[in-house]
Every structure is written in C-alpha cells, then in structure tokens.
Amino acid sequence: MNSTSRTHYTYVDTPIGALLVAGSAEGICEIHFAGALPRPDWTLDDGALAYAAAQLHAYFAGERQAFDLPLQPAGTEFQRAVWTRLCAIPFGETTTYSAIAHAIGRPDAVRAVGAANGANPIPVVVPCHRVIGKSGALTGFGGGMEVKRWLLDHEARVAGRLLF
C-alpha cells in the first residue's frame, strides 16, 4: 500500500454481502458487514487492498481455509490475546468462550472473552464466528445470526463436516 498513515478501503462482494475492508501499509485493520460506510478520512483504493480481496474471494469460493494477511487490529492487550486465539481455531470447527478463556490463561474471564470476541474488528479473517455457546447453541454475532450460520455451514461443507 502507498502510505503508512493513510487508511484505504475497498468493498469485496461475497455471498454474505459486500464486505467493507479497510487497511494501511501495516495491514488490515477493519472488516465491516454489508451496508457499512467508510469513515470520512479513509481513501477508496481497490488496488491497495487487492491482496485481501483475493484471499476473501478464495475463502468464499472454498479454495482457502486460512488467511495470510498482515493484521493491525486496534484493541487492548487482552482483546488482542483473544483475537490471536480465535485465529488458532481450526477451519470448520467451533469452540466456546470458556475454552478460549482457559486457552489464554484467564479461565475466570469468560464474559470478558465474549466482549472481546464481540469487539473483533476483523471478522471472517479473525474467525469470531467459530465461537459458540457452551451448550452448543449459536450466540450473538455482529453480522447477524444468518451470516454466522452461513459461515459455519460454508466451512463445514468445505471441510467435509456437517455442523448444524
């Protein structure tokens, strides 16, 4: 990308709607679901984010199970620990908030893990959709429950599993 201080954005057409992808020279900083608008200080630049668009297209086509993108999410140390752990959830699988809390060494922080999961600024690439309730039920998701179910079903199909 051209400038380390400028945030660029593009829209990526996907089966779940047009995703707004934003990033700088350091990496992708935000992904928003269909209907989102860019911030006034962002610059439209499809070419600067072509690498991210290509990986998202491959994911939705079932040709990519992991992303290889530089990420620059803004968040607290705790949130970044949760988001890093989200990236370790295997494609086509799910886990619980409690399991993540244990994995990051904070077993009593289940609610805080849920809040960090909900604050994930880079959904799909940082797979917060793979986190479900302890009972196995689908829980809240910023893109809506239909989108969460679609993403989980998509990954299950590609991975050769049936989840729901």
Q: Which residues make up the CATH 3.30.160.70 domain(s) of the chain?
A: 8-60
Q: Which residues make up the CATH 1.10.10.10 domain(s) of the chain?
A: 77-159
Q: What is the CATH number of domain 77-159?
A: 1.10.10.10
The tens digit of pLDDT for each residue in 42-67 reads 999 999 999 999 999 999 999 999 99
Please, where are the H alpha helices in the chain?
Answer: 50-60, 77-86, 97-103, 110-118, 145-159
* pLDDT > 60? residue 163: no
Protein fold of 8-60: Double Stranded RNA Binding Domain (3.30.160)
The tens digit of pLDDT for each residue in 107-154 reads 999 999 999 999 999 999 999 999 998 888 888 888 999 999 999 999
Cα separation, 84 vs 104, in Å, equals 9
Pairing of strands 8-12, 95-96: unpaired
Q: What does the pLDDT read at residue 5? A: 63
Q: Which residues are catalytic?
A: 128
pTM score, whole prediction: 0.91
Cα separation, 142 vs 145, in Å, equals 8
Cα separation, 77 vs 59, in Å, equals 28
pLDDT interval class at 31 (50, 70, 90): very high
Task: Return the C-alpha torsion angle 19, 24, 27, 30, nearest 10.
Answer: -30
Cα separation, 24 vs 4, in Å, equals 6
The tens digit of pLDDT for each residue in 61-95 reads 999 999 999 999 999 999 999 999 999 999 999 99
Q: Are 47 and 23 in contact (CB under 8 A)?
A: no
pLDDT interval class at 162 (50, 70, 90): low
Q: What does the pLDDT read at residue 3? A: 43
Q: Are 66 and 163 in contact (CB under 8 A)?
A: no
